[in-house]
């Protein structure tokens, strides 16, 4: 179907390397239904392989966290003239920084949680954060994905212990008010919201372990929520896609409290594509199986390459 080679890039060096490799393998399998000659390259460094050629290769990057979601690989691909799937440099740089994303949303009336960003070499006192955000606070890296380095605290003592502890996972952190509600996510394809997925961890919260351990979390898709609220969530997600300058695909995470006043949490510009991943579940709600989703994700890059 294509005069170009489709090359899936995964791996690279980040805390999410193993997840990226699993995503890459799953993505390749799905792509080969429609593009049997697609190939996979596992990166052992944060660099685009020198032997790839923009004249013949179209890239499907499936690299989570550092280098993949922060605009790094996108910048390198553009510098060499590659057509590639997914968000560009500016949207990637924005969305990986949760504090900048929040500021943009608040300026444009998008409901989100209150938060305070801080560098790890200038950590605020727990008392100051509680005065601003309340007694229950979530502390997480402002520029990582997959729930890496997630802390849930209640009260000054617990919060101060986290702030005094190991914050080596990132140079930039975000403290947020904790909001209780149903955990939802919605995938977007070419700016259009797909189905809403509800995430139900069997124990605790949707952290790294629950996210990537099969059987530890139940998923309901489509989520059983009032259609009027669902329509508002989808519309807001589409507005976020536009505001953040996203392209091709992304995923937006949402919390829905009992009162119906939902808040958006973050944008994932490089969604997971493993067996437990959320974007394929969202796509299935609108009739797209994994193969059809993978095709829809790469087609815009092929079109940009003139195919």
Which residues are catalytically annotated? 16, 146, 212, 251, 253, 266, 268, 272
SS3 70: coil
Token reading at 21: 């490799």
Report the C-alpha gap between 166 and 249 in whole angstroms.
34
Choose among 221, 175, 167: nearest CA to 197: 221
Could you tell me if 197 and 186 are in contact, meaning their C-beta atoms sit under 8 angstroms apart? yes
Token reading at 62: 């499936």
Neighbouring residues of 290: CB distance < 8 A, sequence distance ≥ 6: 26, 30, 280, 283
DSSP 118-150: EETTSPPPHHHHHHHH-SEEEEEETT--TTTT-
H or E element in which residue 266 lies = strand 263-268
Alpha helices for the chain (secondary structure H): 17-31, 72-79, 89-96, 98-107, 126-133, 156-164, 208-212, 227-243, 278-284, 290-304
Measure CA 58 to chain center. Answer: 22
Token reading at 6: 């489709």
Sign of dihedral through CA atoms 268, 273, 274, 275?
positive
H or E element in which residue 8 lies = strand 5-11
């Amino acid at each position: 179907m294509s005069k170009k080679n489709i090359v899936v890039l995964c791996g690279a060096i980040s805390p999410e390397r193993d997840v990226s490799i699993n995503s890459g393998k799953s993505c390749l399998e799905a792509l080969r239904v429609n593009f049997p000659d697609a190939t996979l390259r596992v990166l052992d460094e944060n660099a685009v392989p020198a032997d790839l050629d923009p004249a013949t290769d179209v890239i499907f990057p499936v690299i989570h966290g550092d280098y993949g979601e922060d605009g790094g690989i996108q910048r390198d691909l553009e510098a060499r003239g590659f057509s590639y799937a997914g968000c560009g440099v500016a949207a990637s740089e924005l969305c990986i920084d949760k504090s900048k994303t929040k500021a943009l949303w608040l300026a444009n009336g998008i409901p989100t949680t209150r938060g305070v960003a801080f560098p790890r070499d200038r950590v605020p006192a727990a008392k100051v954060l509680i005065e601003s955000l309340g007694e229950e606070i979530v502390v997480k890296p402002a520029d990582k994905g997959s729930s890496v380095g997630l802390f849930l605290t209640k009260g000054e003592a617990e919060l101060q212990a986290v702030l005094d502890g190991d914050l080596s996972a990132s140079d930039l952190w975000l403290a947020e008010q904790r909001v209780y509600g149903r955990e939802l996510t919605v995938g977007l394809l070419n700016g259009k919201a797909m189905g809403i997925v509800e995430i139900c961890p069997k124990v605790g919260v949707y952290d790294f372990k629950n996210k990537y351990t099969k059987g530890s979390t139940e998923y309901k898709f489509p989520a059983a929520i009032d259609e009027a609220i669902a329509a508002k969530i989808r519309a807001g997600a589409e507005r976020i896609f536009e505001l953040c300058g996203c392209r091709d695909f992304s995923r937006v995470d949402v919390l829905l409290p009992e009162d119906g006043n939902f808040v958006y949490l973050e944008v994932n510009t490089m969604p997971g594509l493993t067996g437990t991943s959320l974007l394929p579940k969202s796509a299935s709600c609108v009739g797209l199986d994994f193969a059809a989703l993978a095709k829809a994700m790469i087609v815009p890059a092929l079109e940009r390459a003139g195919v």
